[in-house]
Amino acid sequence: MTVIERPPLWQRLKPWLSGFDVPLLLAVAWLCFWGLLCMYSAGYDHGTRFVDHGRNMLLGLGLMFIVAQISPQRLMALAIPLYVFGVTLLIATAVFGITKKGATRWLNIGVTQIQPSELLKIATPLMLAWWFQKREGLLRWPDFIAAFALLLLPFLLIAKQPDLGTSLLVLAAGLYVIFFAGLPWKLIVPAFVLGAAGITALVASEDRICEPDTVWVVLKEYQKHRVCTLLDPTKDPLGKGFHIIQGEIAIGSGGMTGKGFMQGTQTHLEFIPERTTDFIFAAFGEEFGFMGALGLLAGFTALILRGLMIASDAPTLFSRLMAGAVTLSFFTYVFVNMGMVSGILPVVGVPLPFISYGGTAMVTLGLSLGLLMSIARVRKLVKT
């Protein structure tokens, strides 16, 4: 009688785990470590935030593992359905959505409430990467115009909710794809010059444009208030300016090495608003100081550099565009979050990846990492 022995578990799992990019995994593990450590301190008296944060991380890593098994070719086939589905949900949100605190961002699907705009963080760059892949070697001006139209549709729908933070993230992800696809520098440089001139004019005319009776045509009143508070937080020290002032105090009081784990007074005396979500970097800076912030930035830098290396070695245009856009989206998250907490940028709802609490954001991060892992696995198979 023949006995067939089953191979050990590790041998059965090896085909599923082979090809994963180890440097990228190490960077993610480093950031997850700091995220759990900071969440334990900032959220220890905040219900089950620490446990839920760990659960969200496991969910994100599980999604990363699943998406990594899907080839970029199959992912490209999902571009149109995901984009159309996401835009349809945004339209449904505008018509039937649930309004909270003046923003219509949520859609009731019976079982739970969802925020469709999160899906567009992935669907929009996916759609644009597909668009340029189909026109590889044949790009003309109408193709770029159509790409901007595909980008502006979800951006305007999300901005109208209003959700400035998410709309900017979707816009940035789409612009990265268009940039990597070959947008001419003669269009990029004037845009940067106009942006710099606009910011300079904004700062110079702060006293006039921030008067209560001055109406901003483009932005809503609360968005005007955010910008004016950024320019001078002392104008509203107990309102919107309170966030910026307390964040700066917390980060500054951390000094070079920080006050120590669980020793942050601004954090634990609840001076820092949203200390487990948008402003968690202020709590981090207070307890771990400048050296801790450097360690955190080292993790993000390693993640971004590795993502760009994966993008540069990707075998197809679609893979290169998608990997580059996803990687620079991480940069946008980090830059915007740390900038708003430090008083450099207006306060918008942008989390710090792996550090801030949030289930939906962790799902998006898991999907993004899965895309990078999928592209990295194909790159290794091509090389072998």
Each of the 384 residues of the chain gets a pLDDT tens digit; together they read: 444 556 665 555 555 555 678 899 999 999 999 999 999 888 777 668 888 889 999 999 999 989 988 888 888 999 999 999 999 999 999 888 888 777 788 888 777 777 888 889 999 999 999 999 988 878 888 889 999 999 999 999 998 888 888 898 999 999 999 999 988 888 788 888 888 888 788 777 777 777 777 777 766 776 677 777 777 777 777 666 777 888 888 888 888 988 888 888 887 777 787 788 888 898 899 999 999 999 999 999 999 999 999 999 888 899 999 999 999 999 999 999 998 888 888 777 788 999 998 888 888 899 999 999 999 887 765 555
Q: What single-letter amino acid sits at 297?
A: L
Strands 103-108 and 113-114 come out as: antiparallel
Kindly provide the residue ranges of all beta strands, DSSP E only, lying in 229-309, ordered along the sequence. Answer: none
Give me the residue label for tokens 């980090």.
Answer: 334
Kindly report, residue by residue over 43-55, the tens digit of the pLDDT. 777 668 888 889 9
Kindly report, residue by residue over 215-244, the tens digit of the pLDDT. 777 667 766 777 777 777 777 776 667 778
What is d(CA 310, CA 236) in angstroms, rounded to the nearest whole number?
45
Kindly report, residue by residue over 361-383, the tens digit of the pLDDT. 888 899 999 999 999 887 765 55
User: 331: exposed, middle or buried (C-beta count within 10 Å: 0-12, 13-18, 19+)?
Assistant: middle
